Structure 1
């Protein structure tokens, strides 16, 4: 039986995104995927509709979100390309307003800071490393958080540590203050995101998740 919600997915062709897409299909959600290179996407299912475009393009986002009730993004920064996270979020929020969509879930690194954090030593070290080695990407993700803070939508920014791209499931610890583990499986990220589709626990919040 198909789910009533139709979900717009950004990053569905990426390493984490493919785990998410497969789990959403298993739960019979109807999906609209934004892909820059649809010809490289290998998952085939009648529940999937593909939109060719780019997240930094407002017209692409408008086409993607039309007819959807939820937006999920697992977009990562592209090497040697302009920053994508904050611009994509601005585009998404604009189209969410147009189509009266209320729910936006996205994935970010544990390096994003919020006023509610009480980061432990390991999380602080990982944050500082990201700031030092990928300063532009860090700043763009931090800008994304600031944009979300000012928005009216029910957003959730899921902050994750090192991702293991496996189909394994483990025990997941979530916290609004600190990342309680050093790794998380892509399968568990996907499962956690899907849990948020029927929960208001993390509305307008940025939980850390990790495998224990």
Structure 2
């Protein structure tokens, strides 16, 4: 993968760091957007750090320049501006200008699509998110709408409760319902990186979970 460079947003987070480890372990070059690069402790000749915020379109374009694919594990930080939809708008604008097609990003299982057939547990989790964090839920739902109307080869990976471990157990995948209540960050990282060479989920929103 020496000639394949990945733009990574969210690489400073707990899941994002595991995605980064998987990428560099497989030989990918990575440009990583960080708000506080002085606090970052991962060092590798395969990593290039870009200082900036996902809400800043100039920083996002700088990050994506020279890359072939984009991965975002950006999460919503407490008491900060909504990030999901605006980050995706910034990313899609830069991707269009730079003629980059592949975009993989994470979301919770609460995001709804027209292709869902959510079971009772997934419906309950979705409704809880809608009632407890209505603005965050609406922003994530807006992100799906933005993606659906875009021309890029996107995959929105939907996940249940994340266990922040590197353990990689059996991962179950479904396009219409979440089949488990949790997923390890290691499994997320493995699945996300595999999507860079897997065309099975283009313009789709698979659920992944551990049984």
Band of TM-score, shorter chain:
over 0.9
Q: Deviations over 1:161-193 (max 9, x none)?
A: 000010111000000100000000000000001
Q: TM-score, normalised to structure 2's length?
A: 0.99
Written as runs of structure 1 = structure 2, the 5 A alignment for 1:91-170 is: 91-170=90-169
Written as runs of structure 1 = structure 2, the 5 A alignment for 1:14-29 is: 14-29=13-28
Contact 1:3 1:27 (8 Å CA) reproduced:
no
Residue 197 (structure 2) pairs with residue 198 (structure 1) = yes
Residue 209 (structure 2) pairs with residue 210 (structure 1) = yes
Corresponding residue for residue 12 of structure 1:
11
The answer for unaligned runs of 5 or more in structure 1 is none
**Which 4+ stretches in 1 moved above 6 angstroms?**
none
1:4: Cα distance to partner?
2.2
Q: TM-score, normalised to structure 1's length?
A: 0.98
Q: Deviations over 1:26-60 (max 9, x none)?
A: 00100000000001111110100000001011000
Q: Aligned partners of 1:114 and 1:161: how far apart in 2?
A: 16
1:7: Cα distance to partner?
0.2
The answer for unaligned runs of 5 or more in structure 2 is none
Corresponding residue for residue 55 of structure 1:
54
Aligned length: 211
Q: Helix, strand or coil: the match of 2:103?
A: strand
